[in-house]
Amino acid sequence: MSSTTPYMVNAASDVQRLQTENLVLKDQNERLQLRLDQLSNKFGHVAHTKTDLSQQLLLSEEEKLKVSQTLVEMQIENNKIKEDAEATNFELTNKIIVLENQVIEAQNERDRHIRQAKTTKERLTEMEADRKDLADEYVVLKTNYLALTNEHKKECSRNENLAIELLNLVNNKAALMRQVLILTNGDPSTMDDPNAEIARIRAIVNQNTSGKIKSDQILGSQKDREQVEERLFASQKKFDSEINRLKHEYGDDNKKYEGRMNNLMKELTDVRTLARERQQKISEINAKLITIRGDKEALEIQVNRLQHKIKDLGEDFRARLVKYVEDIAEYVDKGSGMPGQQQDKKFRDYCDGMLKDIRKSHREREDQLSQAAQTYKKRLQNTIHSYEQVLVAYRNLRQTCEARGFDRADLGPDENEMKLGETEIQSSHLKELDKTKSDLAKAKSELDTMKLRYGLFGDDKKENFGDLNTISARSDLWSALRKQLREFTLNTQQQLEQERARLLSENQVLQQQLRECQEYIDSHLIRYKQEVLRLRKMLGMSEAENAFLTDRTLKTRKK
C-alpha cells in the first residue's frame, strides 16, 4: 500500500495537471473560436461592402451604358435630321436652279422683246420721219394744186370771155361780109363762105371751152408717179431687205443655238438626277456607317464593362487571398502549441498556393493592360500612317502644281505647316506607355525581392522547418513569418491600389489623347481633301479624273 501511494500521488498530480491543461486548452479554443467568429463577421461585412460597391459600380456602368446608348440614338436622330435637311436643301437647290434657269430664259425673252421693241421703235421713228416728209410734200403738192386750179379757173373764164368776144367778132364779120355781098352784088364764089368761117371758129372755141383740163394733164404721167413713189418708199424697201437679210443670215445660227441649249438642258437634268441618286446612296452609306459605329461603340462599352468587372473580381480575389494569408499567420501566431512538421508543411504548401494565385491574378491584369496599350498603340500607328499618306499625296499634288507654273500664294499652306510635331504624335503616348511598363517592371522586381527576402518560394533557399526542433526557434520563425506576411500584405495591397488608380487615370488620359488625336487628324483629313480638290480644279482636272484619282488613292490605302 505504501509502495502504491507515490504512484497514486503522481497519477493524481498528472490528472490534475492534465485537467488544468485541458481547461487552458478549452479557454484558448473558446478564445480562438471567438476570434474566428469575429474575423468571419468582419470578413462577411467586408465582402458585403465589396458586393455593394461592385453593385454600385455595375449600376453606374449600366447608367453610363444607357447614357451612351441615348447619346448614340440622339446622334443617329441628329444624322437623320441632317440627312433630311441635306435632301431638302438639295431639292430646294434644284428648285432654285430651275427657277434661275426660268428667270434667265425669261430675261432672255425679255431682252429679245426689248430688242424687237427697240428695232420696231426705230422703224416707227423712221416711218414717222418718212410720214412727216410725205406730209410736207403733200402740203406742197396740195398748195401747188390749189394754185394751179385757181389759175386754171382764171384761164378758163378768160378763154370763155375771149371765145365770146371772138364769136361776136366772127358774127360781126359774117354780117359785114353779107352786107358787102349784098352791097356789091359780087360773085359769092370769089368770096369765102361766112358760115364756114363761123363754124370753124365755133369749133375752135368749143374745143377750148369744152370743160376743165384732165387730171392726167395736170398731175403728170404714170411714169412720173412711179418715180415719185419709188423715191418715197425706197427707205422702207431698204429696211425690209435688211431685215430679210438678217433673218436669212442669223436664223440658222439661232436654231443651232436653241438645239444646243436644249441638249445642254437635257444633259444638266441627267447630271442632276445622277448626282441626286449618288447623294442618296452616300446618305444611306453614311447612315449605315453611323449605325455600325454605334454598334461598335456599344460593343466597346460592353467590353470595357466586362473588363472592369473582371478587374473588380480579380481585386476581390486577391484581397480574399491576402486576407486568408493574414488569418493563417494570425492563427499560427496566437496558437498555444506549435504545430508539427506535417501541419507545418501543409501550411507552407497552402500559403505557396495562395501566393501563386495572387501572382497569377497580377500577371493576368498585367497582360490585360499590356494588350489594351498595344491596341491603342496600333490604332495610333494606323492613324499616323494614314496621316503620312495624306501628306505624301498633298506633297505630290503641290509639286505638280508648281511644275505647271501656279503661284505659290494660290497653292495653300506649306507641307511643314500641316505636319504634327513630335510632342503631338509620340511624346505623350510613348511616355505614358513607357511609364506604365516601368511601373509594371518595378512592381514585378519588388515582388521578386519580397519572395527572395521571405524565402517562401525557392526550393534552394527554402528553410527546413522540420530541422528546427527547439520551441524558441519555432516561435521566432513563426513570429518572423507573421511579421513578414503582414508587411507584405499591407505593402502589396497599398502598392496595388496605387498602381490600379494610376493605371486607371493613365488609361483615361490615353483614351482622351487618342480621341483628340483622332479628331485632329480627321479635321486635317477634311482640310487636305478640300485643298486637294481645289488644287485639282486649279489644274483643270475634270470630275472623272478626280474620281479616278480618288479611287486609286483608296486602292493604294487598302493595299
pLDDT tens track for 104-140: 887 888 888 788 878 888 888 888 888 788 777 877 7
Which CA distances in Å does 89 have to 147, 270, 521? 83, 19, 29
Is a pLDDT exceeding 50 seen at residue 216? no
Name the residue with higher pLDDT: 436 or 316.
Answer: 316
- Band of pLDDT at residue 225, cut at 50, 70 and 90: low
Interatomic CA distance for residues 241 and 245, integer angstroms: 6
pLDDT surpasses 80 at 433: no
pLDDT at 515 (0 to 100): 76
Give per-residue pLDDT as tens, 445-501: 777 776 666 555 444 434 444 444 455 555 666 677 667 767 767 777 677 777 777
In this prediction, residue 46 carries a pLDDT of: 65
Query: Mean per-residue pLDDT for 518-540?
Result: 69
- The most confident of 184-193, 275-284, 356-365, by mean pLDDT: 275-284
pLDDT given at position 326: 73
Residue 19 scores a pLDDT above 60: yes
Alpha carbon separation from 229 to 116, 145, 152, 218, 244 (Å, rounded): 28, 18, 26, 18, 22
Residue 3, pLDDT above cutoff 70: no
Closest CA to 60 of 304, 282, 237: 304
| Pick from 332, 377, 302, 351: nearest CA to 482 | 332
Q: In whole angstroms, how far apart are CA 290 and each of 87, 280, 476, 511, 526? A: 18, 15, 68, 21, 18
pLDDT for 143 beyond 60: yes
What sign does the dihedral 218-221-222-225 (CA atoms) show?
negative
| Other C-beta atoms lying within 10 Å of the C-beta of residue 322 | 20
pLDDT in tens, 377-418: 787 777 777 777 777 787 788 788 877 777 766 666 666 666
Residue 532 near residue 401 (C-beta atoms within 8 A): no
DSSP state, 225?
H
